[in-house]
Amino acid sequence: MAARALTPQDLHIGEPLPWPVHDRQGNLLLRKGDVIRTEDLYNAMLARGFVIEAERQREAAPLAPKIEYHRMPVFRRMRAAQDWHEAAMVKLHSAYPDALSDCLRLAALIMVACDEDADAALAAFQVDAAEQMRGGSARYMHAAVLADLMSRAIGLQADRRQVVIGAAMTYDLGMFRLADALNSQRDALSLQQRQLLEGHPDLGAQMLSAAGVDAEAWLTAVRDHHERVDGSGYPRGLSGSQIGLEARLIAMVDIYSAMIRPRAYRDPLQAKDALRQIFLDRGKQIDEELAQTFIREIGVFPPGSLVRLKNGEIAVVVRRGENAAQPMMWALLGSNGHTLTGEAERRATDPEHAVVSLVSLNKYRGLLPKLADVWTRTAERQGSEAVGT
């Protein structure tokens, strides 16, 4: 039997699954015989279009990707992995026995992707922020990529990097039921919502501990990610060195990833404006040294940003350059507004291709389907160059 989309008739809360459940790439999310215990998990399986495989097909290990997945360019790989993150979060919230192992495998996959092509991994979620079409998992995957980029920049070893990524993927686990409502809410918080909001760091840490997380740095990062270096945060009002490095790092990437995404009560900030705010908040709400490193690593024009060039072309930033204001780009539209074909690499070091301004992707939504192809082509070029050497 070929794979097909799940329907409400396929799933029943409290009953063992008659088939293994896979994502769109064929990676296993739930095994045959697993029980869907909660409405959250039931809804997630239906809403994200997970598919089922016939019982006669061989089951893969949890989150063990097929060879085809590893052959995917990093940009496509990271966007596909958002489904995995959502399933892992639901399983953590539903107290599934293998939830932690799924998180650790996903953290390892993010590390591999960032080692392979950090610019493509960043771009996948910078584009997503502008696209405004995906769920909350995109934000936490973005935070995880940013956290890994920072972890490498400050010299953390691989085992500590994995802990930081795990914390970045799960820091809002305690807000699992509340986050979507708050993001779309224009009115002031109710008393109950305020209490839930202020208690979610502790709740998230408790849930992770119950799931088997024993890395204290992971738990404290989740518990303290709303603390601020000037003491203005919550829930304990910690300040300065009372806040661990991992928590200070997660706090910063949380602030950035939130600012560049829309809320019901405000439009998203451009990346340069979000970075400017981080610069202004350094030493106050945000750790000063981490803020300086973050701005240097991300660059003025992060990969995935859409820009207008001096010659009138519209291009997407593909890679950060040695100079933060001089990235490598791929031109998409000519100065006449027509789609460009063929070789379109542009470097901001060329005066004619200097970046004039950032451009909102919302004004060029027709370009969104083309963006994944840009990183596919650049990945193929890198592969060809590597073979040539």
Q: Where are the domains of the chain?
A: 1-60, 73-298, 306-388
Round to whole Å and give the CA distance between 171 and 204: 7
The sign one gets for the Cα dihedral 161, 154, 143, 324 is negative
Round to whole Å and give the CA distance between 111 and 122: 12
What number does CATH give the domain 73-298? 1.10.3210.10
Token digits for 245? 């490095």
Strand partners, 16: 35
Q: What integer pLDDT is reported at residue 1 of this predicted model?
A: 45
pTM for the model stands at: 0.82
The amino acid sitting at 122 is L
Round to whole Å and give the CA distance between 208 and 213: 6
Radius of gyration of the chain (CA): 21
How would you list the strands of the sheet with 314-319, edge to edge? 345-347, 328-333, 314-319, 306-309, 355-359
Q: What integer pLDDT is reported at residue 366 of this predicted model?
A: 83
Round to whole Å and give the CA distance between 295 and 279: 8
| Residue 314 falls in which region: left (phi positive, over 0), alpha (psi -120 to 50) or beta | beta
Q: What integer pLDDT is reported at residue 64 of this predicted model?
A: 47
Q: Could you tell me the maximum CA-CA distance found in the chain, to the nearest angstrom?
A: 64
| Residue 50 falls in which region: left (phi positive, over 0), alpha (psi -120 to 50) or beta | beta
pLDDT digits (tens), the chain, 389 positions: 466 777 787 788 877 777 777 776 666 777 777 777 777 777 777 776 566 555 434 444 444 444 455 677 899 888 888 888 888 888 888 788 888 988 998 999 999 999 999 999 999 888 876 555 445 788 899 999 999 999 999 999 999 999 999 999 999 998 876 666 666 666 776 777 777 778 899 999 999 999 999 999 999 999 999 999 999 999 999 999 999 999 999 999 999 988 888 766 677 888 889 999 999 999 999 999 999 999 999 988 999 999 999 999 999 999 998 887 889 999 999 999 898 877 789 999 999 999 999 998 878 888 887 888 888 787 766 655 544 55
Collapsed DSSP state (helix, strand, coil) of residue 26: coil
Q: What integer pLDDT is reported at residue 73 of this predicted model?
A: 85
